[in-house]
Amino acid sequence: MFRAKQGKTSPSGRTVAEHKSYSLLQYNLAVKHTQELLARSGDGDAEVVIKGLVACILFICFENLMGNHNTAQMHLQNGLRILSRHTQSRNSKSRNSSPSPYKVTVPDDIVQVLNRLDLQAMSFTDSKERYPYHLHQDKLEIDAIPPSPFTSIDGATDFLINTFRTIFRLAAGSEPHPIPQAPLDSLATVLTSWSRSFTHLISTTEVQKAYPNSIILLKVYHTVLNIIVSTRVYGLESLHDAQLPRYQYLVSLGSKLLDNENATDPVMSEDTIFSFEPGVIFVLFFTAIKCRDPVLRRRAVELLGKNGHQEGAWESVGAARVAEFVIGVEEEGLLPGEKDGAGAEVVKEASRIHLVNVHPVIDRRKIHVNCLMKSMDGGWFMREGTVVY
C-alpha cells in the first residue's frame, strides 16, 4: 500500500484502494482478537500479555503508516500501560508504583521497540494531537551514575534512548519555566559517561564493522542530546550558535549514513524507504531549524528532500518543506544575495523561531505549520502557514 501511494509498482499489482480495503479488514479482525486477549490478561498469563504487547506494536506501526497519529498514540500508551502493569522495565526506578501481583518476563526486544516508538512519538510534535505527558505519573529521576561498560550495541542504544525520553519528559514537566540547571548538569554527566562506555564498546568489539549504520545513528543521537542539554532544551535560540561544530558533525554523519544505504543497495537511491524506527529525519530537521549557518542548514534540507525516507510519522520530504518554511520566516525581508550569508550575525534572536509544531494532512499531502516566536515586547505569537509536499 505504501509503495502504491508513492506511485511505485507493488508485487501484488493491487491499487491503493484495494490494499487499503484488505488491510483494514485484517486490522479490524486483529483489534477484535486483541481485545479478547487483553480481557484475559488479568490473570498474568505471560503468553497473553506478550501477544497483547506485540499487537500494540503492530497497531502503532499501522496507524502511523495510515497517518492516524492520534490512534497510534492511543495504542502506544496502552502498550506502555500493559508493560508497567506486569513488569518494571530494567530502566524504571519508580518508587511510587505498587508491584504487580503477576510478574511477566517481557522479552527485551519488545521493551526496546516500545521505548523507541515512544521516543519517536515524543519527537513528532503534532499541534492537534500532542504527546500525553500527563499520563506518566511515575516520579522522574535522573541517574547520573556512569553506566557499566557496554557489552552490546543494544545496551548502548537502550541507555541513549531512555536518556532522550527523560529529557523530553523533563522539558514537558518544566514548562512554561526553564529547566533547572541541576538536572541539566546531571544529564551532561550522563552523556559524558555514555560516550566513554560507547567508545570502549566499539574499540574492543566488532560491532562497528558489523553494524556501521547503527553506530552512526548512535553518534548522531548522542550529538543531538549534547546540543539539547547545552542549549537548555528551550533556551535562547542564540545558544545554538556556539554549537556549530556539532551541527557540522551531524550533517556529515547524516550524509555518510545515506551514502552507506545507497552503497549497500544502489536501488535505494531511487526508492522510498519506510521504517517504523527513529532514524535520521528528526536529526536533519532539527539541524535545519536550529542551526543558523545558511550553508549547513540548507545542506540538511537538501539531504531531507532527496533521501525518500519515512520513519513512522516522519516523512523526509514533508520535513524538508517545513524546514524551508522556517528558514523563510527567519530570513524574511532579506534580499536573495543577503540570504546566502544570513548566518547568526544576520538572523538575530528576535527573528528566530523557538518552537515548530506541525499538523499533517496525509491524504492531501500538506502540512499545517505553527511557529512560536517572541515579540519585541517580550510576549509570544504564532506564525502560521501550510506547505505542500
* Residue 317 within any structural domain of the chain: no
Identify whether 11 is part of a domain: yes
Contact in structure between 379 and 372 (CB atoms under 8 Å): no
If pLDDT is split at 50, 70 and 90, which confidence band does 3 have? low
Q: How many domains does the chain have?
A: 1
Domain containing 52: what range? 1-106
Whether 141 has a pLDDT exceeding 80, the answer reads no
Please compute the mean of the pLDDT values over residues 321-348 and round it to a whole number.
85
Residues with Cβ within 8 Å of residue 119, at least 6 apart in sequence? 161, 164, 165, 168, 278
Among residues 175, 176, 186, 184, the alpha carbon closest in space to that of 145 is found at: 186
Q: Is residue 344 part of a domain?
A: no
Instruction: Tell me whether residue 42 is in a domain.
Output: yes
**For position 124, what pLDDT does the model report?**
86
Q: Looking at residues 208-232, what average pLDDT do you find? A: 95
Q: Is residue 22 part of a domain?
A: yes
Residue 236 maps to a domain: no
Q: What is the reported pLDDT for 95?
A: 42
- Using CA atoms, how far apart are residues 167 and 114, in angstroms rounded to an integer? 17
Kindly state whether residue 26 falls inside one of the protein's structural domains: yes
- C-alpha grid cell for residue 19? 490494499
Tell which residue, 190, 296, 180, has the closest CA to residue 240: 296
Please report whether residue 244 resides in a domain: no
State yes or no: pLDDT of 116 exceeds 90: yes
